[in-house]
Amino acid sequence: MKKMLLTGVLLALSGAGAVKVGVLLPLSGSGSVSGQAARNGYLLALDEINRAGGVLGKPLELEFADDGSSPAKAVPEFVKLVTVDKVDFMAGGVSSATSIAISGPAKQYGTFMAWIGAAAVPVEDAFADHKYFFHYHPWSYYNFEAILGYFKTLKTQKKARNIAIAYEDGPFGSAGINDTVAAFKKAGFNVVMTEKFKTGSGNFGPIISKAKAARPDIFYWVGYDTDALPLATEIKQQNLQVGLVYGTPPSWPVGFEKNQLADNIAGLSLWLPSSPQAESRKFVAAYRKKFGNVTEEYFAPLAYVNLKTLAAAINGAGGTDKDKVAAALAATNTPTPFGPLTFSKSNKTQYQGFKAGNWLHFQFQGDSRVPVYPIKFAQKPMVWNK
């Protein structure tokens, strides 16, 4: 305790010239759930970093800015962090549209970007030639790669052949849907239904009727959290006989796991509080100690990992020279709540962190999300309803 106090006092006294990291997040607007979760992750990491001596012998400082989930707000906020607050590094970034909007100023100022979100491929295009862009979240094509890999396993183990697809007609559901169908077919699946729906409409009657007639082994839906309960209700009411219902909403409805209708519905996440890795357990314990609860939003641990690795790279570089920090961060090889983190090339960018292999597949069983694949992380066998 004395040692901690002494460290704190020394750090406070040496505050001048501290390393400043700007954090641009959607703290309001449509992306605010992920943004607020990420903020907690950063605050937790900040506590730990400064308790352990800070960065370069000085306390690390965070300067948060709210991009409002809007490009028109993100651009001035980014420029303010870089030119007024004079941050040394930038972290954060959830929305793809806002990330692209700041790619111009980022290149203009040569800003160092340790970025946690923004999975859309156009972001990859926008930052392809930026030499200080480190992307932690898997690109969207890695997400589908993970899903396809899981379904191929089901094809082998459960003889799953027929897939029915329901997708929302906005960008989230529709983006690359033709490629999705083509990839399933190429992998030897029969796509027996492809139906779009209006998210939030709550009317899944016709789609489930059609799915019943098509007799799929897997019902795959791409929509938002608001669609989860009406869809589950309709599946129950019409007694759709299907091996697996698999959904990929960005987040699930609060308390969905407590609803019996959720039983056996499966999905995808980068992380779950029940993830078995030691780093995950440490994160959960530290998070509970600081905030008094546990989050299921993976942007919290992702932000935590983001700041911890950036701080380690700055310390490793022995200064804030961007090239040296980039070299140190590029050499990262550390355990995280998502599994080991290393950076390697993606299709277009130089430094990509997590990839398809970091995704977990879970199933709602009982009152919680249970990891069921990859097998090495599975805590219970998957329930196949056929």
Partner 1 sequence: MSRAAELPRTVTRRPDFTGRALVPLALFFLLALAFPFLPLGARAEYLLQIAFFTVVAGVLALSWDILARSGQVSLAHAAFYGLGAYGFALLVKVMPWFLAMPLAALIAALLSLILGAVTMRLSGMYFAIATLAFTEVVRTIIQNLPESVAGGANGLLVPALLGGNARAQYFLAVAVLLLTALVSLAVRFTRLHHAFAAIRQGEETARVLGVSIVRYKLLAFFISSFLAALGGVLFAGKTFFINPLETFSLANSIAPLTTSIFGGLYTTLGPILGATVLRVAEEILHNSIKNGYLVVYGLVLMLSILWLPRGLMGLLRKGKHGGDL
Nearer to partner 1, 174 or 251 (CB): 174
Task: Work out how close the CB of 263 gets to partner 1 at its nearest, in angstroms, rounded to a whole number.
Answer: 31
Q: What is the side-by-side strand order in the sheet with 20-25?
A: 61-66, 20-25, 89-92, 113-115, 133-135, 351-352
Sheet holding 162-168, edge to edge: 190-197, 162-168, 218-222, 244-247, 265-269, 360-365, 368-373
Q: Which of these, 221, 217, 223, lies nearest to 188 by C-alpha position?
A: 217
Shorter beta-carbon distance to partner 1: residue 97 or 383: 97
CA angle 320, 326, 327 (to 5 degrees): 110
Q: How far is the CB of 79 from partner 1 (least distance, A)?
A: 5
β-partners of residue 22 are 63, 90
One-letter amino acid of 384: W
Least CB distance to partner 1 at residue 104 (A): 5
Q: Whose Cβ is closer to partner 1: residue 51's or residue 185's? A: 185
Quote the least distance from Cβ 272 to partner 1, whole Å.
28
Shortest approach of partner 1 to residue 363 CB, angstroms? 28
Q: Which residue has the tokens 């704190």?
A: 8
Q: Which of 67, 59, 60 is nearest to 36 (CA)?
A: 67
Nearest to partner 1 of 53, 71 (CB atom): 71
Backbone dihedral region for residue 68 (phi beyond 0: left; psi -120 to 50: alpha; all else: beta) = left
Q: Which is nearer to partner 1, 72 or 285 (CB)?
A: 72
In angstroms, give the least distance from the CB of 73 to partner 1. 7
Complete DSSP assignment for 38-63:
HHHHHHHHHHHHHHTT-BTTB--EEE
Q: Is 99 within 8 Å of 118 (Cβ atoms)?
A: yes
- Select 71 or 340, whichever has its Cβ closest to partner 1: 71
For residue 276, the minimal CB distance to partner 1 (Å) is 35
**How far is 211 from 282, CA to CA, in rounded Å?**
43
Which residues make up the interface to partner 1 (CB under 8 A)? 27-28, 64, 66, 68, 71-73, 75-76, 79-80, 83-84, 86, 96-97, 100-101, 103-105, 107-108, 120-122, 125-126, 169-176, 178
CB nearer to partner 1: pick between 55 and 106: 106
